[in-house]
């Protein structure tokens, strides 16, 4: 869940994973009580690519979100160097809670 920046986040992940945003639906034609300024936000979208598929949305403005824990992601690679590079790209500018490690 995102706080109004879902499209921006999906663009970031699409670039990293060489994936496409699919099934993009906004709040525009939905019978949901959201402000008119929020109507263009994403009620649902999917990121799909080779080996990646996840769903995301902008939570409605009255939905409480805790900054820093809206998304959890696990990524598997067959190549250790590719995995390390993706970890570096994903963690750039962010807060790292766990160092890179191979799955046991």
Nearest Cα to Cα of residue 18 among 47, 57, 42: 47
What angle, 0 to 180 degrees and rounded to 10, lies between the N-to-C axes of helices 80-91 and 6-17? 150
Q: What is the pLDDT of residue 68?
A: 67
Considering the entire predicted model, what is its pTM? Answer: 0.80
Task: Give dist(CA 51, CA 43) in Å, integer.
Answer: 24
Region for 47 from its dihedrals, namely left if φ exceeds 0, alpha if ψ lies in -120 to 50, beta otherwise: beta
Task: Give dist(CA 17, CA 2) in Å, integer.
Answer: 19
Q: What is the mean pLDDT of each run of 10 residues along the chain (104 residues)?
A: 92 93 92 89 92 89 78 78 89 85 74
């Amino acid at each position: 869940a995102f706080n109004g920046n879902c499209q921006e986040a999906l663009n970031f992940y699409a670039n990293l994973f060489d994936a496409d945003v699919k099934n993009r639906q906004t709040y525009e034609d939905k019978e949901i009580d959201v402000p008119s300024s929020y109507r263009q936000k994403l009620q649902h979208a999917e990121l799909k690519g080779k080996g990646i598929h996840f769903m995301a949305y902008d939570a409605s403005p009255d939905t409480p979100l805790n900054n820093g824990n809206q998304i959890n992601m696990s990524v598997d690679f067959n190549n250790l160097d590719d995995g390390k590079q993706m970890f570096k790209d994903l963690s750039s500018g962010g807060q790292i809670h766990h160092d890179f490690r191979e799955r046991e």
